[in-house]
A and B are shown apart, each in its own frame.
Chain A
């Protein structure tokens, strides 16, 4: 909460606020002191909030027309596309909205990785974020099953079969997930229920994510602790609201391009064929945002170990604050980490590409090397780098690099050399 006590101006406002301090909360959110050097990579939190609300609103309206039944689901989606007023628009926003959501979340995650936002004292914000990311993947996967096309059906079959890799109880768990002996109507109805539920769980976690953020305050591109409120901060409203709003507009242009000019480019043509349990499509490929993990799954030749590797690739992120031993947050002051950071970005992009290609020959070899490197980065490079790397001296405040050549910098450098 803000450092100063807030009292509403009007008598009615004061009366209400004494009974439920909603106005104090609103005042905290508008006055919230924010580092004044936040760049555009920091606007994706607001963009992600927009994405979540968009998915909830379009999802609710789609649910008014969709029928969760194996015999009618495919037809009801076509009914939405052809008959329902603006049904095509709402569905294309929802389907492409999922991709936009993941695009924004990947930028948000990689921003954290670059500026060390996951480090103390922000570990809980980071872990809640990883849980949100996992729930997003679950929601996206189950949503993709609902149109009951060929990719829906076989994607559901392949992903639920991952659980059969668990020794002893695996088969029982898969039957329990299906509610039968194959993916069928009981599977569809429960996936619909969970797909409806998860966004609201995410919404609750987003509140915790922001609450946890407001305790230490935002990290910033320089990555040093700042006093707040101080000359290093600006109030959230109007400064950050306007900046976030402008970034959101830019983001919406990209969003609108996909919705209006290329609504199916991120999907698979096979999903416009109704589900058929007798025929598997020639290439089963997940949506683009899951491809890096799919590549990791396929690059391990053993079924159980493949599943373990894929899950570890995600869960390793949750312990990242303890794997990265460096006390310096921002990569700006870590010349070696900065290079390894970009290698990791390239590695994940390569994994994504390999996930879309058939798992054979050179593709498989590259996927295996990239998988090994992914784990090497987190398990070996990060812990060692924090101990060995010679970092650049930090400025004393975020104002310093902005003003440039301030005497503080020279003093800071002198101090640094004395310590050494």
Chain B
């Protein structure tokens, strides 16, 4: 092969294989992409929640994109506890001020960042949440403090539409 000079036929073979490969890829992509979230799933991207009945120290769980979202109206002690933590003590350092713009309200995905279980309220060594699956402890800001989870619970995009209504997404 190597001592033979490439001829017209070799070029035609290579060109045919290349065109064939592009053709196969073009057919495979729709078959792969059909598994991604469809238009109807994407259309459910935002949810509005009435939080007027929530008292300090209460949490409600709502469903957003099939996932639970915790909305907690925090007590002054919880806020103080969350804000007094030193950054170097955190596994995934994030300021409570950045996680809860309005300190009274903590809105986050109720999904453990380890393998996706729903952590339990008011449990664990840090007065926040505890995941029963593999033992991750979260603090009053939803930050991971102990256990196998790598990150803090995610804060989704949300806003107060008015004083009583939170729009998630």
Contacts and interface: CB of A to CB of B under 8 A. Distances in A.
Interface in A172-200: 175-184, 186, 190
Nearest to A281: B132
A277 B133 contact: no
B116 A158 contact: yes
A280 B133 contact: yes
B88 interface: no
A303 to B, nearest CB: 5
Q: Which of A157, A283, A298 has the most CB of B within 10 A?
A: A157
A186 B41 contact: yes
B56 interface: no
Contact of A360 (B37, B114, B133, B135): B135
B118 A278 contact: yes
Interface string B64-91: 0111100000000000000000000000
A154 B116 CA distance: 8
Given A280-B133, A283-B132, A303-B150, A179 B117 contact: no
A154 B115 CA distance: 10
B118 A284 contact: no
B68 A277 contact: yes
Contact of A190 (B35, B65, B116, B150): B35
22 contacts: A158-B115, A160-B116, A161-B114, A162-B115, A176-B36, A178-B37, A179-B35, A179-B37, A181-B65, A181-B67, A182-B65, A183-B66, A186-B38, A277-B63, A278-B61, A278-B110, A280-B118, A281-B132, A284-B133, A358-B135, A359-B135, A360-B135
B36 A179 contact: yes
B134 interface: yes
Interface of B: 32, 35-38, 41, 61, 63, 65-68, 110, 114-118, 131-135, 148-150
* A interface, over-half SS: loop
Interface string A251-294: 00000000000000000000000000111111110000000000
Contacts of A283: 132
Contact of B41 (A180, A284, A302, A359): A180
A359 B66 CA distance: 28
A407 interface: no
A301 interface: yes
